[in-house]
Amino acid sequence: MGHDDSAIIQPQWKKTEVFGLIMMLTGLAVFTALAAQLGTPSVQRFDETVVRSLRNAEDLAQPIGPAWFKELARDFTALGGYGILSTITLLVTTFLHLERRPARAHFVVVAIVAGYSLSMTLKALIARPRPDIVPWLSHVHSSSFPSGHSMMSAVVYLSLGLMLSDLTSRRLVKTFVVVAPLTISALVGLSRVYMGVHYPTDVVAGWWLGISWSLACWLAIRRWRAFREVRKALSIENENAT
């Protein structure tokens, strides 16, 4: 052949993939910066101020806002609960297998299971205590940093959104299926601070780490598919040449 096969075998990066890579690196930078600042007086003071501001000054056991708002916060925090996320994961992977899309099903399982393992490992290593300045409005048992609800809701919902974005060519739809899960995971994170079980930095770190992990898995499978398509095209070209 009159050209360099090694050059052909390198699939081009699309604009969405470049943007995804930038967001992934941004998320990792934010998480690293927050983790490095844990325990400093300024960060701790900020965290405690925000948590206290969400409680009645005369009775710290009572969150601010009407009763219906408290129930709304409970509903949002439930969207990041492991029971809900596990159920969604099981239903989606079952659907994908029934649709004979095993590669997408495997992507969902690997991204979510590995993300959960990463979350639990970081919690154990960093071992930041939960806020003790207000009574908790939700049962918790693990360490505080990063927020598991924030991270895993981003991992699950964003991974599903990114998978759906690959099934449509309309830019508006692509934007919607990515922004919607980010919004849900943000609401989950905010509810954790409102419930008094997390500091704001826990939530921000978990949210960004979840985004980074989802994007890393998405980019990996996109690169693998692009590489496979180029290899297939090159193989056909070589066969035709002979």
What are the helix and strand counts (H, E) for the chain?
Answer: 9, 2
User: Of 217, 220, 223, 211, which Cα lies nearest the Cα of 25?
Assistant: 211
Bond preceding residue 146 cis, omega within 30 of 0? yes
Mean pLDDT (whole number) for 27-47: 94
Q: Which residue has the higher pLDDT, 187 or 240?
A: 187
Integer angstrom CA distances of residue 20 from 10, 25, 83, 188: 19, 9, 29, 22
Per-residue pLDDT tens over the stretch 155-199? 999 999 998 888 888 889 999 999 999 999 999 999 999 999 999
DSSP 101: -
Q: Which residue has the higher pLDDT, 221 or 87?
A: 87
pLDDT band at 7 (very low <50, low <70, confident <90, very high): very low
Question: How high is the mean pLDDT of the chain?
Answer: 88
Per-residue pLDDT tens over the stretch 128-151? 999 999 999 888 888 999 999 999
Residue 6: per-residue pLDDT: 47
Q: At residue 233, does pLDDT exceed 70? A: no
Q: At residue 46, does pLDDT exceed 50? A: yes
